[in-house]
Amino acid sequence: MHAKSKSAIFNKRYRRQILATLTEHIMTFAHAAGLGWLSPTLNILQSPASPLDFPVTTEDASWIGSTFGLGFIAGNVFFGLTMDHFGRKLNMYILAFPHMIFWILNYLVQSVEYLYVGRFSAGLASAGIFLVVPVYISEITDKDIRGALTAMAMMFFSTGLLSGYILATYLDYYLIPCIIVVLPIIYLVGNLFLPETPQCLLKHGREKEAKLSFNFYKNIEPQDKMQCFATQPSVAISEFKELKTAIELGGLSAPVTLRDFFNRSTLFNFFTAAILCLLNQLSGSFAIINYMANIFAASGSTIDPNVSAIVMGFVQILGSLSATVLVERFGRRPLLLSSAVGMMAGMYSFGAFVQFTDAETKAAYNWVPIVFMMLVVFTASYGVFGIFFTIVVEMHPAKIRVQALSICMLFNSILVFITLKLYPFFLFELGITVTMYSCASVCVAAGIYLYIFLPETKGKSMDKD
- What are the CA-CA distances from residue 40 to residues 59, 173, 232, 274, 303 (Å)? 17, 11, 52, 31, 14
55 Rama sector, left if φ>0, alpha if ψ -120 to 50, beta otherwise:
beta
pLDDT score of 125: 95
DSSP 93-159: HHTHHHHHHHHHHHHH--SHHHHHHHHHHHHHHHHHHHHHHHHHHHHHS-HHHHHHHHHHHHHHHHH
**Contact in structure between 369 and 354 (CB atoms under 8 Å):** yes
- Cβ atoms of 155 and 315 within 8 Å: the answer is no
Burial of 415 (0-12, 13-18, 19+ CB in 10 A): buried
pLDDT of residue 231: 46
Per-residue pLDDT tens listing for the chain (465 residues): 444 444 455 677 788 899 999 999 999 999 999 988 887 888 788 888 888 888 888 788 878 877 888 898 899 889 988 988 888 999 999 999 999 999 999 999 999 999 999 999 999 999 999 889 988 998 888 877 877 787 788 889 889 988 988 898 889 999 999 999 999 999 999 999 999 998 888 888 888 898 889 889 988 876 544 444 444 556 667 778 777 777 766 555 556 677 878 888 889 999 999 999 999 999 988 888 777 777 877 777 777 777 777 788 788 888 888 887 888 788 889 999 999 999 999 999 999 998 888 888 888 888 888 899 899 999 998 888 878 878 888 888 877 887 888 888 889 888 888 887 788 888 888 888 999 999 999 999 999 999 999 988 776 665 555
* Angle at 153 (CA atoms; ends 438, 78), nearest 5 degrees: 80
| 280 vs 383: CA distance, rounded Å | 9
The answer to whether 136 and 102 are in contact (CB under 8 A) is: no
Measured CA to CA, the distance from residue 159 to residue 136 in angstroms comes to 22
Instruction: Report the chain's terminal Cα–Cα distance, integer Å.
Output: 24
Residue type, 109: V
Closest Cα to residue 378, out of 154, 172, 220?
154
CB contact burial 423-453 (16+ within 10 A = b; e otherwise): bbebbbeeebbebbbbbbebbeebbeebeee
pLDDT of res. 361: 84
Distance from C-alpha of 81 to C-alpha of 75, rounded to nearest angstrom: 10
List of domains in the chain = 7-453 (1.20.1250.20)
- Rounded to the nearest angstrom, the gap between the alpha carbon of residue 136 and the centroid of all alpha carbons in its chain is 14
d(CA 388, CA 262): 24
pLDDT score recorded for residue 4 = 45
Whole-number Å distance between alpha carbons of 436 and 345: 10
Asked if residue 140 lies in contact with residue 217, where contact means CB atoms within 8 angstroms, the answer is: yes
pLDDT of residue 243: 78
The span from the CA of 202 to the CA of 184, in Å, is: 29
64 Cα distance to chain centroid: 20
* Structural contact between residues 6 and 144, judged by C-beta atoms closer than 8 angstroms: yes
- 287: nearest Cα among 42, 92, 5, 21: 42
* % helix, strand, coil for the chain, step of 5: 80, 0, 20
pLDDT at 103: 96
How far is 176 from 243, CA to CA, in rounded Å?
A: 45
**pLDDT at residue 349, as a whole number:** 94
- Per-residue pLDDT, 223: 53
Cα distance between residue 233 and residue 222, in whole Å:
6
Q: Phi and psi (nearest 5°) for 23? A: -60, -45
Single-letter residue type at 233? P
